Amino acid sequence: MKLNSNLKVSEVAQLLNAEYIGNSDHLISGINEIHMVEVGDITFVDHSKYYNKALNSKATTIIINKKVDCPEGKALIISKDPFSDYVSLVKKFRPFESCSDLISKTAEIGKGTILQPGVFIGNNVKIGKNCIIHSNVSIYDFCEIEDNVIIHANSVIGADAFYFQRRKQGYKKFESCGRVLLKNNVEVGALCSIDKGVSGDTIIDEGTKLDNHCQIGHDTYIGKNCLIGSHAAIAGVTKIEDDVILWGRVAVDKDLVIGKGAVVLGTSGVDKNIEGGKTYFGVPAEEARKKWKELAALRQLPGILKKNKF
């Protein structure tokens, strides 16, 4: 998430009542969690296992729970609870704003777009031209939809990321400040949920079509001209390249890449990166021809055991 205007690290440290290391005029231009950071962003780290990753990331300001050497060109904010301080910044700069109207007064709706009864359009939403938004669709704040998009009834665009940190007293919510972007000619089936990015964007690229009952996790990118079958469940921070087909009830684990033109057959489970241009099947998903050979061999196992009197 980009800030409306740059802040000095000294100003942010003062907001957090925390000490800082670095130039007091060091500027912060955005807030991002570690998977999405860019130059100018502030992020956080609260476990020694991830110190190096955060300190060597593109982020130029890091909220950290230990005094360490500050990398050149960066600034550190020393915090007893970096997670909570980061969340407090999200809440300050992207607070929840209620909306009493079905269509927010700050929403921008393009020419020729049709909104069916019961549609909710949140604050600062942008919708392009010639879209059809069917009944009871909810589009959360700051989401952007380009031209010629169709969203079928009862789908939710931009719900919070399913992202929590476990504490002794229970789970603490990682507040979301990202968006969903639906590009030109996307079609979303009925009863789908597309979660916003935690701090970046969840993107469905041009020409991609989702069947009914699909779940798309936070910060996921789905490329151009993909087909996603019904009941597909795609976890967060996944990258699906162009021309991919996922048939019904495919499950995809987080942080994976599915290569261009891959086809994953129904009810499969993808637990690792897979190459493009191939067909996959099974749990875990493997090349379909190999998986079918394995299944054929398994069918012979009872006869083999009986013959050898096991």
Residue with tokens 């800082």: 20
What is the C-alpha separation between 246 and 226, in angstroms, rounded? 8
Q: Which amino acid is at 171?
A: Y
| DSSP category for residue 70 | P
Q: Which amino acid is at 67?
A: K
Total Cβ atoms within 10 A of residue 12 = 22
Catalytic residue among 26, 152, 213, 218: 218
Torsion of CA 89, 93, 95, 100, to 10 degrees: 180
Please choose, from the candidates 192, 193, 206, the residue with its C-alpha nearest in 3D space to the C-alpha of residue 128.
Answer: 206
Q: Is 218 a catalytic residue?
A: yes
Phi first, then psi: what are they for 270, rounded to 5°? -95, 120
In the chain the first and final C-alpha atoms are separated, in Å, by: 62
| DSSP category for residue 295 | H
Element (H, E) at 252: strand 251-252
Cβ atoms of residues 33 and 52 within 8 Å: no
Q: Which residues are catalytic?
A: 218
